[in-house]
Amino acid sequence: MSEPYLRTVKDITIEERFAQGHRMCAGCGAAIAVKLALKALRGPTVIVNPTGCLEVSTTCYPYSAWRLPYIHVAFENSAAVASGVVEAIRILNKKRGKKLHDVIVIAGDGGTFDIGLQALSGALERGHNMLYICYDNEAYMNTGIQRSGATPLGAATTTSPAGKVIPGKQERKKDLIAIAVAHRIPYAATASIAHPVDYINKVRKALEIEGPKVIHVLTPCVPGWRYPPSESVRLARLAVETRYFPIYEVENGKLRITIRVDKPKPLEEFLRPQRRFAHLLRPENAHILEALKKNVEENWQRLIKLEESGVTL
Amino acid sequence: MAQVERLAFMGDEAVAYAVKQSNVDVIAAYPITPQTIIVERLSEYVANGELDAAFIQAESEHSALSICVGASLAGARVYTSTCSQGLALMHEIVYATSSMRAPMVMTIVNRSLNAPLNIHCEHGDIMAERDSGWIILFAANVQEAYDLTFIAFKLGEDPSVLLPVSVNMDAFVLSHSIEPITPISDEDAAKFLPPRKYEFEVDADKPITYGTMALPDVYMEFKMQLKEAVESSAKIFEKVVSEYAKLSGRRYWYYQSYMIDDADAIVMALGSTYGTLKTAAKKLRNEGLKIGVLALTMYRPFPEKQLAEILRNTKALVVMDRAYSYGGIGGPLYTDILGTLYRNDIKIPVKNVVYGLGGRDFKLDEAEAVLRMALDGAEAGRFDVNVSWWGVKG
């Protein structure tokens, strides 16, 4: 795709496939991520969604926020359910002309990094033509903010509390895109709700590519990260500006940073507004803050090297 | 009824042949002994262009069934097969499948559950899914496993049913035994099972939200609908087996039986043991002993009314279970029967024989001994022991 789908925010369609009136929190980053992703559709589309905030807040019978076919089955199996939808529609198209549909999974980090990782790996390996979007709020928010494989080093959750002896999560976050790219899929990318044109263009580009695609979008969570609802997009932007969440894509193994951050802001600017990190800014936990900063910087340098070397991942 | 050649098939092969003739759209499965031959044959049919279907080998049984749910909602005719550990891994989605009213056929090659590790015949795997809202059928021989596959597709996909159906077949005893079968012709199969039509299939022009959250104010109503769907599927079963009889000359019913009308005592079982009991019963009948044998083809919905009519006319009953409810009062079929008898005011002595767990052989002479035990119970008007584990060593 030589021309991007959108040039500016003014090009974004006003059509809403994700209806207002759902029960997501005020300021929910995931709701913004879904709303924006559905601005990129190119035709008939099916959404598959595992159990989680998004599911319980948008499908409470007899209401639904989905103006397109939507399937929820369980927590760990969205990539598998989507595999079945993709292959069924493909064979029914061949046998009796059923209209082809794009199939998009929208799954949280718990359903992707942890319990759904096996199903995701199986689907990526089998090569089904689907787009898998992980909205990552960095913990199990639906059950009340428990740590996940996506929770960053040091963050306090209800199962990795900021205790006197163990101050927050002691392990670093999994690298989802590296895992996805290891399956040699044609397209994987990160995205931010603070950069809607980049994000929507990536969703559209992914839909145009045949095969399995993964997009990882960071979605601030008001109750989970503990900040005022008005700050979601600003935090998402700070995550990019501090290099905490680098925005890049890997197309046919070639990595390209799509939002360059030449002069990063101090990581504290991203951390300070969030009470999940409050303990990291206290002197006794300076070593954890340093370790987190080191993770962030190492990751950025690794991406820069991969981009500059032009190596095929 | 078209003329067809008799074929010799292992149970697994016969089922795969029926699935191929059923013109399925999507097959998703994960290999597990003794089901593997089914999926091997199906992948060969697809690879050789003999079956135009999507064959997906999932990375686990949990995903295999999840793929099937997605494919079924999308409107496809869907097939899977598993057993034992695989079925246990599917457990979560087994319930979702029936509750989301996603029809499909699953052959369960009944095998014991760990531990200890054992790959042989037992019904404990399906009994753990007994209450899930699936229609549960049992085959007593290879021909039945073949025939019930067609019946299962037709029944489950009926617009007034929309339920998944499991066809149960004893591990090795049937799955790996070569028996002669009389197939139906491809033309008859196509007539019996035209391409699936599903009013609510995934379609962006008619967007539907599948698998919603339902809170306490409506959850019970969803479950009531499931209950009614499973129970009323029996009527459709009668219609489907009658149509299949016209096609094949073979008539299926809720149960099958041998000489029950005048029987002093009846022995009942599920699966291939029926054949063993029947052979033994013939010998006893030749001796003038009034024994009858009964096997359920349909286990869920449970044919309570039909069974009550039969059991009202006999003097004693032995119920054979190839599964057990540990800490309960007996095997699953036994407890179903006790409930049936009590609710229908039938007062006869009933004994539960638990046998064949982990594939332990149940031979002809043992079948004869069980039949004689049933007759003794009829004569005495009682059994000394309620539940006995057959043939357990010292």
Mutate one of B46, B59, B61 to test the A interface: name it (highest A CB count within 10 A): B59
Which residues of chain A lie closer than 8 angstroms to B63, CB-CB? 77, 79-80, 83, 118-119, 122
Quote the DSSP letter at residue B163.
Answer: -
DSSP string for residues in B11-40: HHHHHHHHHHHTT-SEEEE---TTTHHHHH
Residues 6+ apart with CB under 8 A from A88: B25, B26, B54, B70, B71, B72, B74, B75, B76, B78
Chain segment A59-106, per-residue pLDDT in tens: 999 999 999 999 999 999 999 999 999 999 999 999 999 999 999 999
Residues 6+ apart with CB under 8 A from B133: B95, B98, B99, B163, B226, B227, B229, B230
Subunit contact A94:B52, Cβ cutoff 8 A: yes
Provide the CB-side half-sphere exposure for B187 (13 A, CA). Answer: 4
State the Cα–Cα distance between residues A46 and A270, nearest whole angstrom: 35
Distance from CA of A117 to the nearest CA of B (A): 11
Residues 6+ apart with CB under 8 A from A66: A17, A18, A19, A47, A58, A59, B207, B209
Using the Cβ of B207 and the Cβ atoms of chain A, whether some distance falls under 8 Å is answered with: yes
Model confidence, pTM = 0.98
Give yes or no for a contact between B35 and B86, defined as CB atoms under 8 angstroms apart: yes
Which residues of chain A lie closer than 8 angstroms to B54, CB-CB? 87-88, 90-91
Give yes or no for a contact between B381 and B324, defined as CB atoms under 8 angstroms apart: no
Judge if B53 and B180 occupy the same domain: yes
State the Cα–Cα distance between residues B295 and B228, nearest whole angstrom: 25
Question: Within a domain: residue A223?
Answer: yes
Question: Within a domain: residue A4?
Answer: no
From the list B52, B66, B71, the residue facing A95 with the nearest CB is B52
Mutate one of B43, B51, B89, B209 to test the A interface: name it (highest A CB count within 10 A): B209
Supply the pLDDT for residue A139: 98
Q: Is A298 exposed, middle or buried (0-12, 13-18, 19+ CB in 10 A)?
A: exposed
DSSP string for residues in A88-128: HHHHHHHHH-PPP-EEEEEEESIIIIITTHHHHHHHHHHT-
State the Cα–Cα distance between residues A164 and B386, nearest whole angstrom: 60
Distance from CA of A281 to the nearest CA of B (A): 40
Supply the pLDDT for residue A3: 84
Supply the pLDDT for residue A62: 96
- What number of other Cβ atoms are within 10 A of residue A4's Cβ? 14
Q: Mean pLDDT, to the nearest integer, of B118-132?
A: 98
Does residue A128 have a pLDDT over 60? yes
**What's the domain range around B310?**
255-389
State the Cα–Cα distance between residues A137 and B361, nearest whole angstrom: 56
Does residue A284 have a pLDDT over 90? yes
> How many domains does chain B fold into?
2
State the Cα–Cα distance between residues B90 and B82, nearest whole angstrom: 9
Lowest mean pLDDT among A1-5, A28-32, B292-296, B360-364: A1-5
Using alpha carbons, select from B122, B155, B119, B159 the residue that is nearest to residue B137: B155
Give yes or no for a contact between A119 and A78, defined as CB atoms under 8 angstroms apart: yes
Judge if B221 and B264 occupy the same domain: no
Judge if B166 and B136 occupy the same domain: yes
State the Cα–Cα distance between residues B318 and B268, nearest whole angstrom: 6
Bridge partners (DSSP) of residue B81 are B107
Residue B325 is which amino acid?
Answer: S
* CATH number of domain containing B69: 3.40.50.970
Using alpha carbons, select from A256, A166, A219 the residue that is nearest to residue A36: A219
Which residues of chain A lie closer than 8 angstroms to B49, CB-CB? none
Using the Cβ of B389 and the Cβ atoms of chain A, whether some distance falls under 8 Å is answered with: no
Using the Cβ of A38 and the Cβ atoms of chain B, whether some distance falls under 8 Å is answered with: no
Supply the pLDDT for residue B349: 98
Q: Which residue, B220, B248, B276, sits at the end of a domain?
A: B248
B178-181 and B7-10 strand pairing? antiparallel
State the Cα–Cα distance between residues B324 and B352, nearest whole angstrom: 10
Provide the CB-side half-sphere exposure for A123 (13 A, CA). Answer: 36
* CATH number of domain containing A147: 3.40.50.970
State the Cα–Cα distance between residues A223 and B85, nearest whole angstrom: 40
Question: Within a domain: residue B207?
Answer: yes
Judge if B272 and B377 occupy the same domain: yes
DSSP string for residues in B210-251: ES-B--TTTHHHHHHHHHHHHHHHHHHHHHHHHHHHHHHS--
Q: Which two tokens stand for residue B48?
A: 């050789």
> How many domains does chain A fold into?
1
From the list B58, B92, B195, the residue facing A96 with the nearest CB is B195
- What number of other Cβ atoms are within 10 A of residue B290's Cβ? 17
Give yes or no for a contact between B15 and B38, defined as CB atoms under 8 angstroms apart: yes
Question: Within a domain: residue B1?
Answer: no
Subunit contact A71:B60, Cβ cutoff 8 A: no
Subunit contact B204:A92, Cβ cutoff 8 A: no
Which residues of chain A lie closer than 8 angstroms to B80, CB-CB? none
**Can you say how many angstroms the Cα of residue A81 is from the centroid of all Cα atoms in its chain?**
19
Question: Within a domain: residue A63?
Answer: yes
Question: Within a domain: residue A3?
Answer: no
Question: Within a domain: residue A268?
Answer: yes
Question: Within a domain: residue A170?
Answer: yes
Which residues of chain A lie closer than 8 angstroms to B204, CB-CB? 43-46, 68-69, 99, 101
Does residue A1 have a pLDDT over 70? no
* CATH number of domain containing B295: 3.40.50.920
Using the Cβ of A23 and the Cβ atoms of chain B, whether some distance falls under 8 Å is answered with: no
Reported residue count of chain B is 394
Judge if B235 and B288 occupy the same domain: no
Does residue B36 have a pLDDT over 60? yes
Supply the pLDDT for residue B4: 84
State the Cα–Cα distance between residues B272 and B358, nearest whole angstrom: 15
Give yes or no for a contact between A149 and A173, defined as CB atoms under 8 angstroms apart: yes
Supply the pLDDT for residue B132: 98
Judge if B227 and B272 occupy the same domain: no
Identify the closest residue of chain B to A52 by CA–CA distance.
Answer: B213
Bridge partners (DSSP) of residue B294 are B257, B268
Chain segment A199-217, per-residue pLDDT in tens: 999 999 999 999 999 999 9
Please, which residues 60-89 of chain A have a Cβ atom closer than 8 Å to chain B?
60-62, 64, 66-74, 76-77, 79-85, 87-89
* Neighbour-count burial for B205-226, b at 16+ CB within 10 Å, e otherwise: eebbbbbbbbeeeeeeeeeeeb
Judge if B327 and B221 occupy the same domain: no
Instruction: State how far the alpha carbon of B12 is from the alpha carbons of A150, A273, B23, B362, in Å.
Output: 44, 62, 17, 21
Angle at B342 between CA B338 and CA B348, to 5 degrees: 75
What is the phi/psi pair of residue B121, to 5°?
Answer: -65, 135
From the list A71, A74, A76, the residue facing B73 with the nearest CB is A71
- Reported ipTM: the value is 0.97
Q: Residue B381: which region, alpha, beta or left (left: phi > 0; alpha: psi -120 to 50)?
A: left
Chain segment B184-235, per-residue pLDDT in tens: 999 999 999 999 999 999 999 999 999 999 999 999 999 999 999 999 999 9
Does residue B3 have a pLDDT over 90? no
Q: Is B66 exposed, middle or buried (0-12, 13-18, 19+ CB in 10 A)?
A: buried
Residues 6+ apart with CB under 8 A from B168: B107, B108, B110, B123, B126, B136, B137, B138, B139, B270, B271, B299
Question: Within a domain: residue B121?
Answer: yes
Supply the pLDDT for residue B1: 63
The mean predicted confidence, pLDDT, of chain A is 97
Question: Within a domain: residue B129?
Answer: yes
Judge if B244 and B119 occupy the same domain: yes
* Residue B394's pLDDT band (cuts 50, 70, 90): confident
Judge if B208 and B279 occupy the same domain: no
State the Cα–Cα distance between residues A303 and A254, nearest whole angstrom: 11
Using the Cβ of B93 and the Cβ atoms of chain A, whether some distance falls under 8 Å is answered with: yes
Judge if B125 and B144 occupy the same domain: yes
Which residues of chain B lie closer than 8 angstroms to A79, CB-CB? 63
Supply the pLDDT for residue B111: 98
Angle at B215 between CA B210 and CA B217, to 5 degrees: 115
Mutate one of B46, B104, B210 to test the A interface: name it (highest A CB count within 10 A): B210
Does residue A20 have a pLDDT over 70? yes
Residue B266 is which amino acid?
Answer: I
Question: Within a domain: residue A54?
Answer: yes
Using the Cβ of B231 and the Cβ atoms of chain A, whether some distance falls under 8 Å is answered with: no
What is the phi/psi pair of residue A208, to 5°?
Answer: -75, -15
State the Cα–Cα distance between residues B188 and B182, nearest whole angstrom: 13
Identify the closest residue of chain B to A56 by CA–CA distance.
Answer: B213
Question: Within a domain: residue A194?
Answer: yes
From the list A74, A80, A85, the residue facing B74 with the nearest CB is A85
Supply the pLDDT for residue A142: 96
Q: Mean pLDDT, to the nearest integer, of B325-331?
A: 98
Question: Within a domain: residue B394?
Answer: no
**What's the domain range around A184?**
9-309
Q: Which two tokens stand for residue A231?
A: 């700050």
Mutate one of A17, A81, A104 to test the B interface: name it (highest B CB count within 10 A): A81
Give yes or no for a contact between B21 and B189, defined as CB atoms under 8 angstroms apart: yes
Which residues of chain A lie closer than 8 angstroms to B62, CB-CB? 76-77, 80, 119
Does residue A2 have a pLDDT over 90? no
Which residues of chain A lie closer than 8 angstroms to B92, CB-CB? 74
Q: Mean pLDDT, to the nearest integer, of B292-312?
A: 98
